[in-house]
Structure 1
Amino acid sequence: MGWIELLLVGLTTFTGLVCLLDVLVLAKRRRAREGLLDDGEESLVIDYSKALFPVLALMLILRSFIAEPFRIPSNSMMPTLLTGDFILVNKFTYGLRLPITNKKVVDLGEPQRGDVVVFRPPHHPNQDWIKRVIGLPGDHIGYHDNQLTVNGHVLRNFPIGMYQGTGNGAEMTGAEEFRENLLGREHSVLERTNVAFRDQLEGDWVVPEGQYFVMGDNRDNSDDSRYWGFLPERSLRGKAFLIWMNFDGGVDTGRLGTRIQ
């Protein structure tokens, strides 16, 4: 679990309990002492709790059920997302989940093929990762020689040209950028077509019920379902939908407000 989420839940709970205790007990005691020399004022703990609780509660509701900010830590989703992108994740698209436990309490929908999702991978349950949904439950996925197939359909790739990376993404300069059609949803991908950038794991997979097959758009530089297996539905955190800032040695104003496709 993220330490920010844990801290926010802890502070909200503490200040809420202090406010409740004040309403039920402490305020009555203060009124009973009115006019006495020791009638006193509210303690700093009560005063700060009353001021902070509404703010903390609102922040907790927004982060848990509406939208949560994340920062992209790696190049695995290039060229769609760059290291240093700050994104917003829709927390209710796939259902309402409790903070900390991530248990779904209201089912509002399921991921669609092509969605960019934030999740906690099975082998790193305390980390937040981001990839693209390639395979839905029951899908047959194949990946051979940089060619992706879904349910027997070979995905069409339209060449865009050589990619020019900047900042932390400079390592991908020289890769080929393609526009991939994922059965009706298009997005850009990067591939190393002329050098052995990393050992690729090729194969064929059938996605089990209640799980998903996810991949990074940077196909030769992504630790994804090809290597560690399927993504359980219970590990989903939400759907990425907007880049609200980029900072990679400086602010890239051209990426502000970019919708994630």
Structure 2
Amino acid sequence: MLYFLGRMADVVARPSMLILLCCVVGLVLTLRRHRAGRWFLIGGIGGLAAFAVLPLSTWMLRPLEQRFAVPRPERVDGIVVLGGAISLPRSADRGTPELNGMAGRMTTFAMLARRYPQARLLFTGGSGDPFDQGHNEAAYARTLFDGLGIRSLRYENRSRNTHENAVFSARMMQPKPGETWLLVTSAADLPRAVGSFRGAGFAVLGYPADFHTLQHGSGFFPGVVTGLSEADWAAHEWIGLVVYRLRGWTPSLFPGPIP
């Protein structure tokens, strides 16, 4: 029940949903000739315009994406990649792995697997959909990586969120003190992911992939779709950092490269 409520709260807290609610409430109140309706409409339309024109999503995402630099270890004992890059509805419908906008974490993982052939490899990801636990990302990831010729992987298929990714990965891989493990995921997701693995007693080096912002540049005029989708993702991560810290799943509020 807590997991379900958390997923619903995550949807409601998205900037796109808040703007939509403002517009709907404003329209209803306006049709009923209520004076407050115009202010809700102004807020909703103004929010759409702001995210379409101003670099609000860049300002929200960039601190997350720049928290970790790409590490260059000489020796790597293991590599873990988080799920999230596979679209389960489309994959289940088409019967083949279908990647979404986070596909960069998968290609980066494949590259690192080639670079460090002696490393132990793990994909961790089940299903984050509370209404559909019949399909899981690990099954489609296996098909994808087998097709790429990367077959020496282990797959964790029960996790529903990043906290469970960390807990189940630690149980499965049993990392030893002194080993060097890379954790690959989207750059914006990395602070919360690294914090979760540290909280589970799994020491990792964060390896950022799948960047959605530039290191430099204004980011003006992203457009409504891009502006809102990236703002939703950033809000999910910032709120997640607070929630994970309050629940004791991470050792600090904004985990960085040095514990």
Q: TM-score range by the shorter chain?
A: under 0.3
| TM-score, normalising length: structure 1 | 0.27
* Bigger helix fraction: 2
- Structure with greater contact order relative to length (CA < 8 Å, sep ≥ 6): 2
* Bigger strand fraction: 1
For the pair shown, the structure with the greater C-alpha radius of gyration is 1
